[in-house]
Amino acid sequence: MPPRLVLLCLFLSPAVQCTLLAPLNVTIVSFNLEHILHWLPAPGTPVTTHFRVHFLHLSEVSWKPVPWCLKVDMQTLSCDVTDSFSQPSSFYMARVQAFGSAQRSNWTLSTSFIPIMDTVLGPPQVLVTGCGNCLRLQITPPTGRGPHKLLSHHLLSEFTCWVRRSGDNTQFSLRVSSSKEFLVEHLEPGVEYCITAAVTVNFNTHALPSQPQCAYTSPPPFNTVYALLTALSVACLLGVLFCGFFLSSRSAKTLPEILLSIPSLVQNLRTAAPEPFSLATILPLEAPNFPSPWAPLGPNADQEEEEEEEEEGYGRMDWEAT
C-alpha cells in the first residue's frame, strides 16, 4: 500500500476500514496429480502481508480453509492443495486473500479445476526385453503422492504404446494394461524395436510420453538336435575312414612276399614285348612217316621205328622251345 494511503487511513474515522489490494494471477499448476496453487501480490503490497487460502468443492455450498495455508508469507506465495482436491473427477475452485494486522483484501478466485482432466500426467516407467519374435513389456505408472491416490481408483491402469521398428521407422500403436506383463507378439526376429508409452485417461490431453526404450527381438532359436545329429554323422564318417585306412595299411604290411610281388610281376608282363614266332617253326612242313598198319615188318623194322621216334623227339623239343 502506498505510504500516502496508509497515512490517510490513520487520520480517517476508525469506522472506515482500509483494504489491501487483492492478489493477482491465482492459478493451479498440476503435475502427476500433485496440485500447487500459485499467486502474485498486487503492486504496493507491504512485505509484512500474509495470505490465506480456501477451497470449494462444487458439490458443497461453503468454502473451507486449507489448514496449512492460512498464513503464507510474501516469500512463499504458493500452497499445496493436493490433499484438499481428493476427488480426481470432481470440480474444485480455490481463492486467496491478502491480510495484515488491520486490513485485508478481497478474495481472488481461481478457475474451476478437475484434477484428472487438468493435470499433466508424466511419462510412465517402461521396461522392454526381447523374447523370440516378441517383446516382453512392463509398464509402471508415474510415481508420487498424486498417482498413488489415483491407483486406488484404477485411473492409471491403461497406457498407449507406440512400437517403432528401427531402420524403416514402421510404427503401430496398442493399448496396454499395467496390471500384468504384456507381450508384443508377431514381430520380426533379430530386429530392434523401440517402444514409447503414455498414460491414457479419458478427456485428458496432457499426458507426456516416455523416452523410447529399445530392445532386440531374439534371433531364431538354434536347432541343437539337428546340430548334434550332424556332428555325430561327421564323426562316424571320419571314424569309418580312419579304421579303413588303418586296416588297409596294416594288412598291406602282413602280406606274404609272393603276394606283394604280384603287382610288379603283372606290370612286367604288360610291358614286356612278345617274341615273334611263326607257325612254320611250330608245325613241320612234311607229314611224319607213320607206319602203315598193313606194312610188312622187316628185319630193319625196329631200327626204323627208333629213327622215327628220334625225329619225333626233335620236333617236340622244337615246339617246347618256341
Residue corresponding to grid cell 478466485? 109
- Confidence band of 16 (pLDDT split at 50, 70, 90): very low
pLDDT digits (tens, 9 = 90+) for 181-192: 889 998 988 899
Please check whether residue 17 is in contact with residue 8, taking contact to mean a CB–CB distance below 8 angstroms.
no
Q: In the prediction, which pLDDT does 221 show?
A: 57
Q: Give every CB contact of residue 49 below 8 A, 6+ residues apart in sequence.
A: 20, 41, 74, 98, 99, 100
Residue 100 has pLDDT above 70, yes or no: yes
Into which CATH architecture does domain 125-216 fall?
A: Sandwich (2.60)
Q: Which residues pair with 216 in a beta bridge?
A: 192
User: Which has the minimum average pLDDT: 8-22, 174-188, 281-295?
Assistant: 281-295
pLDDT digits (tens, 9 = 90+) for 235-251: 888 877 777 766 776 65
Residue 289 CA, chain-centre distance (Å), reads 112
Within 10 angstroms of residue 157's Cβ, the number of other Cβ atoms is 17
Highest mean pLDDT among 9-23, 67-81, 144-158: 67-81
Strand order in the sheet with 50-57: 64-65, 50-57, 92-99, 108-109
Q: Give every CB contact of residue 308 below 8 A, 6+ residues apart in sequence.
A: 288, 289, 291
Q: What is the DSSP letter of 120?
A: B
Q: Give every CB contact of residue 116 below 8 A, 6+ residues apart in sequence.
A: 33, 88, 89, 150, 155, 201, 203, 204
Return the amino acid letter for 305. E
d(CA 284, CA 51): 158
Q: In the prediction, which pLDDT does 173 show?
A: 94
Containing 163, the helix (H) or strand (E) segment is strand 158-165
- Confidence band of 22 (pLDDT split at 50, 70, 90): very high
Residue 253 has pLDDT above 60, yes or no: no
Strands (E) across 146-225 are located at 158-165, 171-177, 182-184, 192-199, 213-216
d(CA 95, CA 208): 29
Parse the chain into domains and list their residue ranges.
Answer: 3-118, 125-216, 229-271, 279-292+299-321
In total, the chain counts a number of residues equal to 322
**Domain 3-118, CATH 2.60.40.10 — does that match?**
yes
d(CA 155, CA 147): 9
Between 211 and 303, the more confident residue is 211
Q: 3-118 and 125-216: same fold?
A: yes
Within 10 angstroms of residue 119's Cβ, the number of other Cβ atoms is 26
